[in-house]
Structure 1
């Protein structure tokens, strides 16, 4: 079953067509990676799929009418409640999602985020890696069917990247569908069931990793990325 399906999506900014008539779908139960260099339209595509931006033409269809209540989205920056601790932010975001978390549930969520010792720390004073993990935590307090993560490991050190990957694996183990954007092929190789490559506002190829490697006659995902994202 498709959770979201976009058809012939077009988006223009400043008289420039930044998304050029793309078709894509998010399938229930998969980990889907949206891949491409910075500035090729990944974040714009995600915003259209989430209903944050309206496409200038094309359409987006959803698996249920109340889809927004069943999506958790962590965009490139999460506006935490300033002056409130990590634990308090989890409680507040839970309330926004109409989810009343018990103290035990909040403690478990902190553990899931590898923040057991940082629950009383102001969210805005956490390290970048801790903030990224907390952002996923507040995004998933309502156990959404679809979790969308926009470059969740960008700018992080290896240990922080490893912890984010472990959180994504846990989401999949809980039967939650995950869409994440990335240009880190190591991350993609370890996580994704299916890949969508974007370049210059277009989808240049998509499919399962092994099938794409074979189709494009390359040895690995890094070489596949370099081939599909050539500038021309």
Structure 2
């Protein structure tokens, strides 16, 4: 077990954003957080990362220095302004405190299909390339656990497919991945477990097969509609 969270609650002013959420993250899993916009997915990720203070509840991690073994890709990654892809990789490596050789950097760029872009200013990359660079930077230190916050948001089908392949690549390396997503293909092909968040609550949790059977559906789209309709509308 990497993370065990119990009874998480978070409010912003008078609005309760997360309501008594209890969940666990097991080693080697690929977990998809799903739900409407504003459901609380990003807030839950922030709470698990300790970047958002919890109001109530408890989180237990597999090691005290878990942050050193955790990678984070947020919806907006602040690349170093005016620096190339290669320079950003080297700067982020120094921030993580890891030494990466030139061959290792080359391998990382190739794995994320960025080798031909290494001399391009990071901020000048396409949205899809920036997403891949953000994930490459989040995994420079070979983390055991990676959080991806809507990694394929705003991408065309080709870009979404590349992100799916990257998550599969991390899975093959036995990296535990937790990602928020609206991409049904992404979720259907690579998620071991689904967690549906609606109005700040964890309303469904299980493998795709378990949830298909529980809700009597055969497709991810029907499951998404059934879970959210059954448990309540977005608010």
TM-score normalised to the size of structure 1?
A: 0.98
Q: Deviations over 1:3-30 (max 9, x none)?
A: 1111000000121111010101111001
Aligned to 1:21: 20
CA-based RMSD of the aligned residues comes to 0.8
Aligned to 1:119: 118
SS in 2 for 1:117: helix
> 2:166 and 2:184 mapped to 1: Cα distance?
18
Give yes or no for contact 1:29–1:172 (8 Å, CA) kept in 2. yes
Q: How far did 1:199 drift?
A: 0.5
Structure 1's unaligned 5+ residue stretches are none
Task: Could you list the structure 1 runs, at least 4 aligned residues long, displaced by more than 2 angstroms after superposition.
Answer: none
Q: Deviations over 1:177-217 (max 9, x none)?
A: 00000122111001100000010110111000011000111
Structure 2's unaligned 5+ residue stretches are none
Of stretches 216-225 and 130-139 in structure 1, the one that deviates more from structure 2 is 216-225
1:79 aligns with 2:68: no
Q: How far did 1:126 drift?
A: 0.5
Aligned to 2:175: 176
Q: How far did 1:219 drift?
A: 2.0
Q: How far did 1:121 drift?
A: 0.3
> 2:175 and 2:212 mapped to 1: Cα distance?
26
SS in 1 for 2:118: coil
Give yes or no for contact 1:133–1:164 (8 Å, CA) kept in 2. yes
Q: Deviations over 1:105-131 (max 9, x none)?
A: 111111011011100000000000000
Give yes or no for contact 1:199–1:228 (8 Å, CA) kept in 2. no
Alignment coverage as a number of residue pairs: 231
